[in-house]
Amino acid sequence: MKNALKFGYSHGLQPGEIPSAGEFLSFVEDVERAGFDSLWIDDHIAFRGNYLESLGALAACGARTERITLGSLVHLLPLRHPAIAAKAVATVDYLSGGGRFIFGIGVGGEEVKEFELCGVPKNERGARTDEAIEILRKLWSGEVVSHRGKYFRFADTRQSPPPATPGGPPIWVGGRSDASRRRAAILGDGYVPYLFSPRRYEEGLEQIRQWAARAGRALEDLVRPWTPALHMFVNLSEKENAAYDAGAENLSLRYGRDMREVAEKYLLCGSLDRCAETIESFQRAGVRHFIFKVAAPVSEEAEHMTRLAEGLLPVVRNL
C-alpha cells in the first residue's frame, strides 16, 4: 500500500440528455489527454438515470485510448453469471492491451428491480459475489478447472484465451459496509468506497488490515500491490454555494431522494486550496488512488473535468 498517489476520473451517462456514442468516446479521449491516471465507468442493469453496461463500454474505451488505466466502478457482479463475467473481463483486458484494466466490483442493492429483472434474490448478493470471485480467479488461470459451490457448479472447464494480465486483472471491492471491507481484505486487490470522511476511511482501512491478518494476508507484502482507493463526488463551480447547490441537485437526481445533507458532508467543492486540503486529509488517512465523479449537469461536465485536470491535479500531485 506504499504505491504513489494516482488520480482517476469516473465518467458515464448522467441524468438528463444522452450524448451520442461519438460524443461519449470523444470525451473519453479528452480525459486521457488531460492527464488523469485512470478512467472509470459505472454500471447498472435497470436504475434511475442513464447507464451503459460497464464492460461493453470499457471495451470501446480501450480501443480509443492508449495509456490510461481503465476500470469498472462498480460492476454489479451478483447480477451476472461468473462465467460470463470472467469471459467479458478477459476480453476487455485483451482489447486494452493487458495491464491497464481494473475490475471494480460491488454487490448493489439500491434498486430491488435490478435483482428481480436478473432473477437473483437480493439477500444472496453477498454470498454470490464471494463465490463468483473464486470462480473468476479459477477461470482466469487459463487452466482446466472445476468448481462445486452453493450457487455454481461445473467440472473440467477451460476458458481461452485467458486475460492478457497473468492471473487476471486486479479486483477492487466497492461499498460502504463491513461486508464490503471484509471482502476487500480477504478476496480483493483493493478497496474503493464512496461518501466517506477521512476519519471513517482511516478506521475502515485499519479494520481491513485486521481482517486480512486474521486470514493470513499481509497486505503490504502481497506480490500484487493492494490499493486503498476512494470515489469522490466533486463540483468545482467557482462559487462555493453554487457548487453545493448544483452538486446536491445532481446527486438527488442520481439517487432519487434528497441528498443535500449528504452533499454537505461529502461533496468535494469550494476553492482549489480547500479541495486540496481535503485531498491531503484523505491521503493521510491512507488513500492512494482518488477517483473523481463530477456532480453537475451534462452540459457542464467538460468544464469541471478541465478544472480538475488543470487546477486541482497539479496541486495535489505534490502531496
Residue 35 maps to which CATH number?
3.20.20.30
Question: SS3 sequence, 45-110?
Answer: CCCCCCCCCHHHHHHHHHHHCCCCEEEECCEEHHHCCHHHHHHHHHHHHHHCCCCCEEEEEECCCC
CA distance 61 to 152: 31
**Burial of residue 84, with CB atoms counted within 10 A of its CB: 0-12 exposed, 13-18 middle, 19 or more buried:** exposed
**Angle formed by the axes of helices 82-95 and 54-64, nearest 10°:** 10
Q: Flag whether 24 is in a domain.
A: yes
Res 2: pLDDT:
54
CA distance 30 to 35: 9
Q: Flag whether 1 is in a domain.
A: no
Res 46: pLDDT:
93
Q: Flag whether 172 is in a domain.
A: yes
Res 298: pLDDT:
86
Q: How many domains does the chain have?
A: 1
Q: Flag whether 217 is in a domain.
A: yes
Res 55: pLDDT:
97
Q: Are 115 and 77 in contact (CB under 8 A)?
A: no
Res 299: pLDDT:
87
- Of 251, 156, 238, 149, residue with least CA distance to 195: 251
Tell me: cis bond preceding 193? Omega within 30 of 0 counts: no
Q: Give strand pairing partners of 145.
A: 157
Quick check: helix, strand or coil at residue 246? helix
Res 239: pLDDT:
84
CA distance 42 to 20: 17
CA distance 34 to 250: 24
The residue range of the domain holding 144 is 6-316
Q: What is the pLDDT along the chain (319 residues), one digit of tens a residue?
A: 456 899 999 998 877 778 899 999 999 999 999 999 999 999 999 998 889 999 999 999 999 999 999 999 999 999 999 999 999 999 999 999 989 999 999 999 988 999 999 999 999 999 999 999 999 999 999 999 999 999 999 999 999 999 999 999 999 999 999 999 999 999 999 999 999 999 999 999 999 999 999 999 999 889 899 999 999 999 998 888 889 999 999 999 888 889 999 999 999 998 899 999 999 999 999 999 999 999 998 889 999 999 999 999 999 988 7
CA distance 146 to 77: 20
Res 255: pLDDT:
86
Q: Are 92 and 192 in contact (CB under 8 A)?
A: no
